[in-house]
Amino acid sequence: MFLDRFANFLPKNDLKKALEFLNRGEYKKACKSFEAHLRKKAGVVDGKDQELLRMYIVESYMEYSLELEKAGDFLESSKQLEKAIDLQPNYADVHYRLGMMYENIGRRVDSRASIKKALAINPYYFKARLMLAKSYYSDQNQDKTMEHLRESISSVPNFFKSLLNELIVKTESASAKEEIEELFTRLLEERPSSSQISKQLALEAIHLGDFERAVAEMKKALSLNPDYPDLHNLLGISYANINMKDDAIVEFKTALKINPEYLKARMNLALTLYENSNEEESLKHLKVILEADPANELANNLFKELKPALSKR
């Protein structure tokens, strides 16, 4: 399979183990292997050249934190999110989720600080703004509650407008606490979009090796969000695994048109071009990867394999 061939270009070390665990959805094991790799590298993942590695590690921490949250272990879930933020401090979603975990373990001051960081990154983050209002409401700070409820109006999704208006009216008129808290709960409930559901089903199908189902689900996701590079990348992986290499190449290239710095998609493209006997174009993409990430072991190993073959021409 494509994922197995991808992993084969890594030497047998903790990083390779981590990627294999991540691909299989074993996030706890992936985190431990990534951490073992980082210890050997003295924790250095700074700079643009380590973008790919940071992306993989942060994804592992976030997915593992979700598993812990579902199990009710909010403290350990918060610790995984803290690790993710240490590596990548500019993800509003991670700060927001960390704020939620802090609230669950009674660290309200820290919760507000995290949610404010999410809003500093994305001032139109509706749920973060609403969660901040709820936090102040819990402390009976009417002025701050109303301030953030009013600010949330500019970013509320259409299908939440009537609920938000009802919440504002009831909060302003000091209605029954139970009614107000129920409205906050309804507005903050996780409602995954159809695209998110399709993406999750596709990831599960990939982990199970059912790549035809993954293709079908990724197409559904892309019909709703055609400009998301990670969706094109996942569809490309799915195509590559059922030997539809030309279609895979189109999807990886589409992902790169949207985000030219998406090294993960570029590496997948280079490998698929190599598998499709287009060594020269594969080499061009490898050079771009190695310019941004000179220590990239995948790219270096494929480069070593390609160079002798091209020199014979």
How is 61-129 classified by DSSP, letter by letter?
A: HHHHHHHHHHTT-HHHHHHHHHHHHHH-TT-HHHHHHHHHHHHHTT-HHHHHHHHHHHHHH-TT-HHHH
In degrees rounded to 5, what are phi and psi of residue 46?
-85, 155
Strand, coil or helix: 288: helix
pLDDT digits (tens, 9 = 90+) for 80-110: 999 999 988 888 889 999 999 999 999 999 9
1-122 shares its CATH topology with 194-311: yes
Q: Where do the DSSP E strands lie in 152-232?
A: none
How large a percentage of the chain has pLDDT more than 90? 46
In the predicted model, is pLDDT for residue 69 greater than 80?
A: yes
Strand positions, DSSP E, 46-175? none
What pTM was estimated for this model as a whole?
0.61
Q: Mean pLDDT across the stretch 233-249? A: 93
Cα–Cα dist 113/195, whole Å: 30
51 confidence band (pLDDT: 50, 70, 90):
low
Residues 6+ apart with CB under 8 A from 10: 16, 19, 297, 298, 301
Alpha carbons 300 and 306: distance in angstroms, whole number: 10
Residues 152-198: pLDDT tens digits? 998 887 778 899 999 999 999 998 999 999 999 999 886 655 666 67
Residue 189 DSSP one-character state: S
Tokens for 82, please give them.
């803290």
Least-confidence region, from 39-43, 261-265, 270-274, 282-286: 39-43
- Output the pLDDT for position 1: 47
**Average pLDDT of the chain?**
85
42 or 35, which is more confident:
35
Q: What are phi and psi of 155, to 5 degrees?
A: -120, 5
Per-residue pLDDT at 60 exceeds 60: yes
| Spatial distance between the Cα atoms of 312 and 280, rounded to a whole number of angstroms | 12
Measured at the CA of 167, the angle between CA 164 and CA 170, to 5 degrees, comes to 150
CATH number of 194-311: 1.25.40.10
Position 50 scores a pLDDT of 57
Q: What is the mean pLDDT of residues 31-41?
A: 81
Can you give the length of the chain in residues?
313
Start-to-end Cα distance in the chain: 29
Position 135 confidence tier, pLDDT thresholds 50, 70, 90: very high
What does the pLDDT look like over 6-16, one tens digit per residue? 555 555 566 77
The per-residue pLDDT for 209 is 81
| More confident call, 228 vs 255 | 255
Write down the domain spans for the chain. 1-122, 126-135+143-191, 194-311
Q: How confident is the model at residue 52 (pLDDT cuts 50, 70, 90)?
A: low
Architecture in CATH for domain 1-122? Alpha Horseshoe (1.25)
pLDDT digits (tens, 9 = 90+) for 268-300: 999 999 988 898 999 999 999 999 888 888 888
Range name among 1-15, 23-37, 67-81, 253-267 with the lowest pLDDT average = 1-15
